[in-house]
Amino acid sequence: MGFAGIVVNNESQAMDRIFTYKIPEKMNISVGSRVKVPFGASNKRLDGFVVEMIPEAEVKGIKDISSVFPGTLFDSWTVEVVEEMRKRYLCTYLEGIRLFIPVGTLKGAGFKTEEKLYPNLVLSGKLNKEPYASIADLIGKNPGKFIRADISRMGFSPSSLNTLIRHGVIEVSSVRSSRHDIRDYENYEAPRLNQEQLIASDTIMKKPGTYLVHGITGSGKTEVFMDVIKRMLKEGKDSIVLVPEISLTPQMIERFKGRFGKDISIFHSRLSEGERFDEWHRVKNGEVKIAVGARSALFLPFRDLGLIVVDEEHESSYKSEMNPKYSAVEMAEFMMDRKGGRLVLASATPSINSYHRAVTGEIGLITLDKRATKGSLPEMTAVDMREELRAGNRSMFSRVLRGEIEKALDSKEQVILFLNRRGFSTFVSCRSCGHVFNCPNCSVSLTYHTSRDLSCHHCGYRQVLPETCPACSSRYIKQFGTGTEKVEEMVRKEFPGARVVRMDRDTAKNKSDYEDMYNSFKNREGDILIGTQMITKGLDFKNVTLVGIIAADLSLNLPDFRAGERTFQLITQVAGRAGRHDKPGKVIIQSYTPEDPSIVNAKEHDYKGFYRREISAREMMYNPPFSRIMSIVQSSVDEALLIKNIQTVGAELRKFLFGYDKIIMLGPSPCLISKIKQNHRWQVLLKGELDPDIARRIKDLVLEKSVRDVRTSIDLDPTSM
Ligand code: ADP
Ligand code: ZN
Ligand code: ZN
């Protein structure tokens, strides 16, 4: 007999604790068991997860576990990681545990099974004739290959088959069928690593720890970590490779599958729930040794994890925007630290934070500064769009860019045009009265699409653009700002012979759209690829020699201390798509502020210069990595209630923080987007020495002082503000 500590699935933040239950006689319980337990005064049966075994407890008033599901979902290692997440990100046990169990578990997801047909007894007596003989022969020669439907499809009647089954000639057996991708992939040979790459791989293998691999695009970083994975395999260790969702291109998948074949699991959000369920079990059963996937792959149940790679480590998508609001980079480091494994962070444009840690010696730094193939870095040109206006060019293409596009088209080379904004124009307004078409649910303007739709990119609201202004009936309605649809229209107008592919969230709604477009451009069925963020990573087209960045200052004007970092990263990443192979590449950066230091650094391929300037600005402004930021956002449909509430919270926080002179408080003030989906939003920002202890106390205080109809969202180290 004994007791178990159980986290109960009761959906309440306030109940975030471990409850003790008694294990009934003969019930087989261990850490990771999923159980049903009676809960609360009404003894309602709820799902629970066992997180600890307790040998002895005060028996009085302790309830019995009602029942247990077979198998375990996690182990004590998971519990340790969940405890850490709870501490760092102020999440609940349940929110943490959910990351580790396959999606759909609580909704009853299961294995897919199929009833396969097997031969059993030999044909005899009156059954020894047609059509029975043919069916029996077919199944006899292909045991376990067919299901009932296959036999019908071959023209035999279901009743003949049933007769055979009834007489025991054929046996039906349920077998688990897998939903995972079993296609064959072309073998992707490993190249012989060059000197730089060999040193990198050896350095990582030499001793456990965290390494930042800073290598220019195309320097062969991926080959380095594939080599390390291979060496880990030899030691019997498992590896996880995290890549941003949008980099998990068909090309990337082909490359990994082609190198590691059956040993690998590809895990991303485009998989169905069933597919994820199966992949999770393949890992748990030890059938695969390597997983490549987006953020959530970090929590797959490997037994002997020795390596985690985070590719494009600077990407903000490694930070979860849902609870737990964890950073995959941080958690990967925690995990490898505890397991004595290796964490490899790779990027052409490391985050300021990681690079700072590397140059101060906290983590290892490995630099690759030559392209692995013959290609050299592209030639970068910045164009001042103000000059273009002065010269009378009102087109969105500068004269230089237009000339280069023409040249590329003439020599049958491909072009990528990048603009980080979808739609046709960013806002629409009336020239007579100034009326702006705004979303009725959010405090943003509506984006115009060529379908004549106005749509909200925050809540999905749509309306048709009216012929006349709803405020003054004028017909003089005009569109302002540029999105990818307008770029497409202009390209078609100015380069009528060119075949155009546009890739953004409107055209690539699902995996197959995306793959189709990707393949068609790769097979040179398109000359110009226009796209958003979606095209900045992982794409490796041999024939692309020109990249045009339509408006480099878009990301510069964000009210965020990371605006410069984002701009530098975007330009460098997009530029990395040009001239990756034999033909040299060119990049044209169009901007209204080409003298901006981040643009200049990117143009000169000068990461170090960029870092030095940026880190001193951060220090001067007391921004991360010299401080931590905590964002407290409250929202409610009731604006007055919200404001009253957050002002109370703000006043209490000020009182609490009195005496903490290393923490600065900003606000309360309306969020940058002050209304989303009818919810008004205000925030308080804290900046300073926010250790987990103070953070937890701040969270408790905020929740305690808030009324029920106001929602609170707390984010430590948010990726945007
Ligand atoms: P990164 O991840 O730094 O962008 P990759 O590993 O994708 O770089 O390599 C870029 C290109 O160079 C790929 O096509 C890859 O196959 C090739 N490559 C990498 N290392 C070598 C090498 N040692 N010899 C030949 N080709 C290489
Ligand atoms: Zn008007
Ligand atoms: Zn909206």
Which segments of the chain belong to CATH 3.30.70.360?
Answer: 628-716
More confident residue, 508 or 696: 696
How many whole angstroms from 678 Cα to the centroid of ligand 3? 8
**pLDDT score of 7 more than 90:** yes
Sign of CA dihedral 97, 100, 103, 109: negative
| Average pLDDT over every residue of 242-258 | 85
Counting Cβ atoms within 10 Å, is residue 301 exposed (0-12), middle (13-18) or buried (19+)? Answer: buried
Q: SS3 for 575?
A: helix
Q: Is the CB of 197 under 6 A from ligand 1?
A: yes
- Tokens (6 digits) for 29: 């319980």
Q: How far is the CA of 718 from the centre of ligand 3 (A)?
A: 22
Q: Is 459 annotated as a binding residue?
A: yes
Look at residue 105 in the predicted model and tell me its pLDDT: 67
Q: Report the chain's mean pLDDT, rounded to a whole number.
A: 88
Q: Which amino acid is at 111?
A: F
Answer yes or no: are the C-beta atoms of 552 and 429 closer than 8 Å.
no
Beta strands in 497-610 (DSSP E): 500-503, 528-531, 544-549, 586-591
Closest ligand 1 atom, residue 193 Cα: 23
Query: In the sheet where 679-688 sits, what is the strand order?
Result: 663-676, 679-688, 628-636, 711-716
Q: Is the pLDDT of residue 179 over 80?
A: no
Architecture field, domain 3-102: 3-Layer(aba) Sandwich (3.40)
> Tens of pLDDT along 59-99?
678 899 999 988 889 999 999 999 999 999 989 999 999 99
Helix (H) or strand (E) holding 418: strand 414-418
Q: What is the pLDDT of residues 303-349, one digit of tens each?
A: 999 999 999 999 988 999 888 999 999 999 999 999 999 999 999 99
Look at residue 582 in the predicted model and tell me its pLDDT: 74
CATH of 113-176, one of 1.10.10, 1.20.950, 1.10.3470, 3.40.50: 1.10.10
Closest ligand 1 atom to residue 368 Cα is 3
pLDDT score for 117: 80
128: tokens are: 């020894």
Mutation pick for ligand 1 pocket among 192, 292, 373, 577 (CB with most ligand atoms within 8 Å): 373
Q: At what angle do helices 607-620 and 352-359 cross, to 10 degrees?
A: 100
In b/e form, how buried is each residue of 8-31, taking b as 16+ CB within 10 angstroms? Answer: bbbeeeebeebbbbbbeeebebeb
Closest atom of ligand 1 to CA, residue 224? 6
| 459 three-state secondary structure | coil
The mean pLDDT value for 658-681 works out to 89
| CA separation for the pair 669, 671 (Å, rounded) | 6
| Cα–ligand 3 centroid distance for 105 (angstroms) | 33
Give the distance from CA 663 to its chain's centroid: 31
Rounded to two decimals, what is the model's pTM? 0.85
CB neighbour list of residue 485: distance below 8 Å, 6 or more residues apart: 422, 423, 424, 449, 450, 502, 506
pLDDT for residue 680 is more than 90: yes
Percent of the chain with pLDDT over 90: 51
CATH 3.40.50.300 residue spans of the chain: 195-368, 379-425+480-617
pLDDT of residue 206: 96
Instruction: Say which CATH class 195-368 falls into.
Output: alpha beta
Average pLDDT over residues 158-165: 87
Is 191 close to ligand 1, i.e. is its CB under 6 Å away?
Answer: yes
433 is in an annotated binding site: yes
Residues 6+ apart with CB under 8 A from 664: 622, 686, 687, 688
Domain 628-716: top CATH class: alpha beta
Q: Could you say which ligand is closest to the alpha carbon of residue 470? A: 2
Choices 3.30.70.260, 3.40.50.880, 3.40.50.300, 3.40.50.720: CATH for 379-425+480-617: 3.40.50.300
Task: Return the ligand number nearest the Cα of 434.
Answer: 2
Burial 83-118 (b: 16+ CB within 10 A, else e): ebbbebbbbbbbbbbbbbbbbebeeebeeeeeebbb
Mean pLDDT confidence for 457-477? 89
The verdict on whether residue 91 carries a ligand-binding annotation is no
Higher pLDDT, 494 or 104: 494
What mean pLDDT is predicted for residues 490-511? 88
pLDDT-derived band at 590 (thresholds 50, 70, 90) equals very high
- Give the model's pLDDT for residue 104: 67
The residue-averaged pLDDT of 158-163 equals 87
At residue 516, does pLDDT exceed 70? Answer: yes
pLDDT at 583: 78
pLDDT at 112: 60
Residue 77 sits at φ, ψ, to 5 deg, of -60, -45
Q: Give distance in angstroms: CA of 458 to centre of ligand 3.
A: 5
Closest ligand by atom to 371 CA: 1
